[in-house]
Amino acid sequence: MNAVEIKNLTTVLNGIEVIKNINLTLEQGKFLGIVGPNGCGKTTLLRTIIGSATPLSGSVTVFGMTPKEAVKAHIFGYLPQNQNIINNFPARSMDVVLMGLYGQLGLFRWPTKKHKQKAYEMLDILGMSGLGNATFSKLSGGQKQRISIARALINNPKLLILDEPSTGIDMVGQTDFYQLLKELQNQIGLSIIMVSHDIGAITTFVDEIACINKTLYYHGNPFGALDRQVLEKLYGRKVSLVTHSDCCSQCDKNKHE
Amino acid sequence: MTAAANAIKINMNEYINAAKEALSMSFIQRALISGIMLGIFSGIISVFIVLRRISFLGSGISHAAFGGVAIGFVTGINPIFTALAYSILTAIGIEQISAKGKVSEDTAIGIFFASSMALGIVLIGLSTSYNVDLHGYLFGSILAITHSDMTATIAMSLILTTVIILITKELHFITFNEELAYSSGIRVRLIKFIFITSMAIAIVTGIKLVGVILVSALLVIPGATANLITNSLFKMIIASSFITLFSIISGISISYLFNLAPGGTIVLIMSACFAAAYFLRKRY
Ligand SMILES: Nc1ncnc2c1ncn2[C@@H]1O[C@H](COP(=O)(O)OP(=O)(O)OP(=O)(O)O)[C@@H](O)[C@H]1O
Ligand SMILES: [Mg+2]
């Protein structure tokens, strides 16, 4: 079964065509990277997939369901690009991670000890176990991002949607994070869609890449996207890239420091 | 003992006697009971109003309720019911219009706010009977609360407090981030509808106590004060309810003893609580 099938998708926001006629399919268990210039519609595409933006025409199906049905079936783990949390918001990191379970728990049911244990494990995996009781809104950008990733993963989603997840995360953390995604993909067959500006880094980890600028410019093998012509068309000018290979000496060096 | 101290002592005794006497009067009892019941409930929702940053929506609806009150005057229906229906519809209208994205929420509120007040003024000008208690609706009439008003306030408060407590987890998440709450399967629209409706009911109930002009203070100041003192949702809810109760009880007492306007006194005490919290809070 396909994790996501997007057919002739056009999304209009405020009278402006933000996404035009995109066709894209992601097989279950695959890791898709999405790249493209600022304002080209990446976030809008993700929001259309989860159903928080409504398409003008075309369709999106997620595991054979409409986005709204998929939401009700708790298919998604979502990490938005901006969270805009107010200063002094009353929630500890632990509470934020637990929020990831609220939809599944349903009305009138509260997290139990077991759920809290799970939240603690997630924080631990993301290297944030020491901050469980810290007020979320007072943490640094990168710490918030790690905790939000824990929140997106806690409900065992079938499809993880990440909008620039590495924003604010340090270099060591980024490699660890991509590695974690890879592990989840291999172990539990998680399907992943990730928007990132770091084309070089994601080519190392993703199975497929989609280059988007309002419409789809390229979809396929990540290394195909490194083709100068594809990138020039996408960004409208010459782009120089730093690529990572599977054994990036830089990352390995940093990892154990 | 000096003469001055003696005078104060006599004065205090006078006040204590006056307070004792007041407490035995049934209209004061009704005012206090209604105030306490409304206070618990409005204290809780104030927290979410402040956290969702919809204070302006709260004051917009309070003033819009005036249009609803006027409809009641003209049609002869109990103004509380028309105000309630009108407030709920206004709240939903504002949410709908701003959700479309063409008009921002504060603009939508500003427009509804002003046009509802205008409607109220025109309608009241039309209504020939001047025996309506316009003053009471504008400035509150807490000491004129009837037995059935009190019963309605108690029932409303018990039901809505329970409802809000039952959906606290969802409200917390939606307040944190609406889109995230949606994506995890929370029924955002339903929860928001329940919340907005509860807010409208609290506003209309609060109109009896402090009036159209001041009722929004009840929904904003306690939550804002609580947010200054603590970073825990549970403690915020407790603090906000406590501040509301304290202000209502002391406001009713002080206004009775010194013959002040009760609505204004209650809100001034709340503002003093906010100022105290603002200046005394720990500076990290
Ligand atoms: N809610 C909205 N209402 C109106 N227009 C919007 C809205 N959200 C986004 N847009 C517009 O749609 C276009 C695409 O925005 P989007 O956020 O999808 O870009 P993006 O590819 O994610 O950019 P970035 O790399 O900066 O995150 C932009 O031109 C933006 O102005
Ligand atoms: Mg974006």
- Asked if A84's CB is within 8 angstroms of B236's CB, the reply is no
The pLDDT of B131-136, averaged and rounded, is: 72
pLDDT above 60: residue B226 = yes
Q: What is the phi-psi region of residue A214: left when phi exceeds 0, alpha when psi lies from -120 to 50, beta otherwise?
A: left
Question: Residue B131: is its pLDDT beyond 70?
Answer: no
pLDDT at A225: 65
A96 interfaces chain B, CB cutoff of 8 Å: yes
pLDDT at B240: 96
Interchain contact, A72 vs B185, CB within 8 Å: yes
Contacts of B179 in chain A (CB under 8 A): 47, 52, 78, 80
pTM equals: 0.88
Task: Flag if B179 and A80 touch (Cβ within 8 Å).
Answer: yes
Which pLDDT band holds residue A247 (cuts at 50, 70, 90)?
A: very low
Chain B contact for A158 (CB, 8 A cutoff):
no
* From B167, B176, B185, residue closest to A74, measured CB to CB: B185
End-to-end CA distance of chain A: 42
Q: What pLDDT does B4 receive?
A: 67
What is the per-residue DSSP string for A94-130?
Answer: HHHHHHHHHHHH-TT----HHHHHHHHHHHHHTT-GG
Amino acid in the structure at residue A255? K
Q: For position A252, what pLDDT does the model report? A: 41
CA B101 to chain CA mean position, Å: 29
What integer pLDDT is reported at residue B132 of this predicted model?
60
Q: Is B101 in the pocket of ligand 1 (CB under 6 A)?
A: yes
Q: At residue B239, does pLDDT exceed 90?
A: yes
- Asked whether residue A244 carries a pLDDT value surpassing 90, the answer given is no
pLDDT at A226: 66
Looking at the predicted structure, is the pLDDT value of residue B268 above 70? yes
Q: How far is CA A5 from CA A66, A249, B106, in A?
A: 10, 37, 38
Confidence of residue B118 (pLDDT cuts 50, 70, 90): very high
CB A28 within 8 A of CB A3: yes
State the nearest Cα–Cα gap between A75 and chain B, in angstroms: 8
Query: Is the distance from the beta carbon of residue A82 to the nearest atom of ligand 1 less than 6 Å?
Result: no
Instruction: Give me A133's structure tokens.
Output: 């009781």
Quick: pLDDT tens for A123-178: 998 888 899 899 999 998 888 988 999 999 999 999 999 999 888 778 777 888 88
Task: Return the closest-CA partner of residue B188 out of B105, B109, B99.
Answer: B99
Distance B95 CA to ligand 2 centre (A): 25
A254 pLDDT above the threshold of 50: no
The stretch B114-131 carries a mean pLDDT of 81
Encode pLDDT of B38-57 as tens digits: 999 999 999 999 998 888 88
**According to the model, what pLDDT value does residue A250 have?**
38
Top-confidence range, A78-82, A245-249, B171-175: B171-175
